[in-house]
């Protein structure tokens, strides 16, 4: 083949090559809205409703204005909660005789200190019942609620509350046709489902943040309060969001925003709506909510612990301490026992044991299987209502 023919052949190949690139680019661009190329854009353009084949529930599709429309409908039911509390503070220098000599007895009187706090909540009935966290109103002498669109707050009274669950129901008298939110079914929530938080972080009223459900069943302890079965979300939750709703795309409450991980970005926690559903009637009646109690402090079994105790495996829970006078103490449990069985069923870890205690209820008689002194023994324990702290 001569040089001229070779040049012609190379030209044809290059032309075909660039034509192929242009065609492929056109196909890739045209398919940019397909599920294969861009699932987010595909979701935003799906039909008005989609069916979850796993649960059989129907949820609205996500369009360009789906979340905005939902917030417009749900937002008016979200309220701002302002509380004040007064405390008496003793002058720390008064016990010093030289201080008393120079400043006299006038400084012996306790000084009044007023503390103000801010939180969120949401209406659950047209006649003014609303939900929030117990820690939002804990110790408050006055509670005021500001409803969206109203310039003046209204006074609120605590109807019922529970410290362990961190839930409180308040009541305001501001008419009988107030906007309110419906509690959804948090058990149907899946990882990756949309989650929308509305609240008043840092006093910025009706701030909306959007994310997904990152995890379920989280447990954590904050100060003296132990939370179980929390929803985790990457929708931003900040101080002031506490007590506000975590919503799904249908505008139903799937959780109550309650905590934020200060050491991480994009990690917030909410109490599942079904935890609320279980006790809501009692809270609205101001009734006492019982909490079955075993009376032990526990931790998970590590491999080091198992080796030290001659125990095979890491299932079960270690009794770190037995609370004097509690059910476990009366049943003869000891520090260092490993609880491995509950009425014949195995105990996996601390969350499993706590769930078994909660499901059993106050008054239940339980046969525990315990690993002690390198052998398995049994103990019978009767659960009681947890004493008030």
Integer Cα distance of 384 and 389 in angstroms:
15
The angle subtended at Cα 93 by Cα 92 and Cα 95, nearest 5°, is 95
Residue with token string 């490993």:
338
Integer Cα distance of 278 and 321 in angstroms:
30
Integer Cα distance of 110 and 90 in angstroms:
4
DSSP symbols for 206-263:
TEEEEEEEEEEEEEEEETTEEEEEEEEE-S---TT-TT-EEE-TTS-EEEEEEEE-TT
What residues contact 369, with CB distance under 8 A and at least 6 apart?
339, 340, 341, 342, 376, 377, 378
The partner residues of 381 in beta bridges, in order of sequence, read 366
Integer Cα distance of 223 and 258 in angstroms:
13
Catalytic residue (choose from 82, 120, 161, 166)? 166
Whether 135 sits among the annotated catalytic residues: the reply is yes
Look at residues 187, 374, 178 and name the one whose alpha carbon lies nearest to residue 278: 187
Catalytic residue (choose from 82, 120, 135, 234)? 135
Catalytic residue (choose from 242, 248, 273, 291)? 242
Residues annotated as part of the active site? 135, 166, 242
């Amino acid at each position: 083949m001569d040089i001229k023919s070779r040049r012609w052949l190379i030209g044809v190949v290059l032309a075909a090559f660039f034509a192929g690139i242009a065609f492929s680019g056109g196909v890739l661009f045209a398919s940019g809205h397909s599920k294969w190329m861009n699932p987010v854009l595909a979701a935003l353009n799906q039909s008005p409703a989609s069916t979850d084949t796993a649960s059989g529930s129907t949820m609205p599709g996500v369009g360009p204005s789906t979340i905005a429309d939902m917030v417009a409908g749900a937002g008016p039911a979200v309220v701002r909660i302002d509380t004040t509390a007064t405390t008496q503070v003793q002058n720390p220098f008064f016990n010093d005789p030289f201080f008393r000599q120079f400043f006299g007895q006038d400084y012996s009187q306790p000084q009044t200190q007023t503390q103000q706090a801010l939180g969120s909540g949401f209406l659950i009935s047209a006649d003014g019942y609303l939900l929030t966290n117990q820690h939002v109103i804990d110790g408050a002498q006055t509670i005021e609620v500001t409803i969206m669109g109203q310039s003046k707050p209204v006074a609120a009274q605590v109807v019922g509350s529970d410290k362990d669950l961190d839930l409180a129901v308040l009541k305001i008298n501001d008419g009988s046709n107030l906007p309110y939110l419906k509690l959804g079914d948090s058990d149907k929530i899946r990882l990756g489902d949309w989650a929308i938080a509305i609240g008043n972080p840092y006093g910025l009223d009706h701030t909306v943040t959007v994310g997904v459900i990152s995890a379920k069943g989280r447990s954590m302890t904050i100060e003296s309060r132990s939370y179980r079965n929390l929803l985790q979300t990457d929708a931003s939750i900040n101080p002031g969001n506490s007590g506000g709703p975590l919503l799904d795309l249908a505008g139903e409450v799937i959780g109550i925003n309650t905590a934020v991980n200060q050491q991480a970005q994009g990690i917030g926690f909410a109490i599942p709506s079904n935890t609320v559903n279980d006790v809501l009637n009692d809270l609205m009646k101001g009734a006492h909510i019982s909490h079955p109690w075993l009376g032990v402090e526990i931790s998970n079994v590590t491999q080091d612990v198992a080796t030290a105790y001659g125990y095979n495996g890491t299932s079960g829970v270690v009794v770190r301490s037995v609370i004097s006078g509690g059910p476990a103490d009366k049943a003869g449990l000891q520090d260092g026992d490993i609880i491995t069985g509950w009425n014949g069923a195995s105990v996996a870890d601390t969350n499993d044991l706590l769930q078994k205690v909660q499901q059993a209820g106050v008054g239940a008689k339980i046969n525990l299987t315990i690993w002690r002194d390198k052998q398995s023994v049994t103990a019978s324990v009767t659960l009681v209502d947890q004493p008030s702290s």
